């Protein structure tokens, strides 16, 4: 599988997470009626997209936090990180990359379908903001301890586990995909993707 320079990988993740946090904070400035409006029947609103990201990303954040906090976890700090086959495929299929192109359409598992209280979009944004900050708070530990170590159970269950580095990469790629979806949703609603 593909090798990555560990430091560059972590720097790239940090930059993407900071960008995602900035965009989230900008979108939080929109009027609530825009955040809860669906662009078309069967399409998610901005607040539903944010809730979906929280439901999925929180799973990986909690697994990573447990791994880094457990003194029994054995981490290896290395200059190069070798992605696992499952992790590499998952990230590549999810990540829109710099060109912003969705490579593979995916159906959402029922447990990740948003069921947020649409009357409280600010709370949904606050929860996801906390998750993004949680990932950012893990990066210093990842730099110090390494990104090779215990496996993290994927959202598909214990049958499929990600390497630590892939468990960091996957939710960030997933979030990137949905950040594009939010921008498209706001454009369809006439908001243009930037706060008023």
Please list the alpha-helical segments (H only) found in 81-149: 85-94, 121-145
Average pLDDT, integer, range 189-195: 65
Query: Confidence band (pLDDT; 50, 70, 90) for 102?
Result: low
**What is the rounded average pLDDT for all residues in the chain?**
89
- Residue 131 belongs to domain with CATH number: 1.20.120.450
Query: Do the domain assignments include residue 160?
Result: yes
Nearest to 83 by CA among 165, 181, 185, 140: 165
Most confident of 63-72, 83-92, 110-119: 63-72
Q: Is the pTM of this model over 0.85?
A: yes
User: Which pLDDT score, from 0 to 100, does residue 154 have?
Assistant: 87
How far is 99 from 16, CA to CA, in rounded Å?
A: 14
Query: Do the domain assignments include residue 195?
Result: no
Q: Any idea what DSSP says for residue 104? A: S
Range of the structural domain that residue 128 is part of: 3-188
Q: Check pLDDT > 80 for residue 191.
A: no
User: Which pLDDT score, from 0 to 100, does residue 103 have?
Assistant: 65
Q: Check pLDDT > 60 for residue 36.
A: yes
Q: Check pLDDT > 90 for residue 42.
A: no
Query: Do the domain assignments include residue 89?
Result: yes
Query: Do the domain assignments include residue 9?
Result: yes
Domain count, the chain: 1
Query: Do the domain assignments include residue 196?
Result: no
Query: Confidence band (pLDDT; 50, 70, 90) for 23?
Result: very high
First-to-last CA distance in the chain?
Answer: 44
User: Which pLDDT score, from 0 to 100, does residue 157 have?
Assistant: 82
Query: Do the domain assignments include residue 145?
Result: yes
Query: Confidence band (pLDDT; 50, 70, 90) for 196?
Result: very low
Q: Which residue has the higher pLDDT, 53 or 113?
A: 53
Residue 62's H or E segment, with its range, is helix 46-69
Query: Do the domain assignments include residue 193?
Result: no
């Amino acid at each position: 599988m593909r090798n990555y320079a560990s430091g560059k990988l972590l720097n790239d993740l940090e930059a993407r997470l900071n960008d995602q946090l900035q965009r989230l904070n900008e979108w939080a400035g929109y009027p609530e009626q825009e955040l809860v409006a669906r662009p078309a029947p069967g399409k998610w609103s901005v607040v539903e997209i944010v809730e979906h990201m929280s439901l999925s990303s929180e799973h990986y954040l909690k697994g990573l936090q447990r791994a880094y906090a457990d003194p029994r976890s054995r981490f290896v700090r290395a200059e190069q990180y070798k992605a696992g086959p499952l992790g590499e495929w998952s990230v590549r299929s999810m990540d829109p990359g710099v060109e912003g192109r969705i490579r593979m359409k995916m159906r959402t598992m029922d447990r990740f379908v948003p069921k947020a209280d649409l009357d409280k979009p600010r709370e949904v944004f606050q929860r996801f903001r906390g998750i993004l900050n949680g990932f950012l708070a893990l990066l210093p530990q990842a730099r110090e301890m390494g990104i090779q170590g215990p496996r993290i159970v994927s959202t598909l269950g214990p049958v499929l586990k990600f390497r630590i580095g892939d468990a960091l990469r996957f939710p960030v790629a997933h979030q990137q995909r949905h950040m594009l979806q939010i921008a498209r949703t706001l454009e369809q609603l006439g908001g243009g993707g930037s706060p008023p």
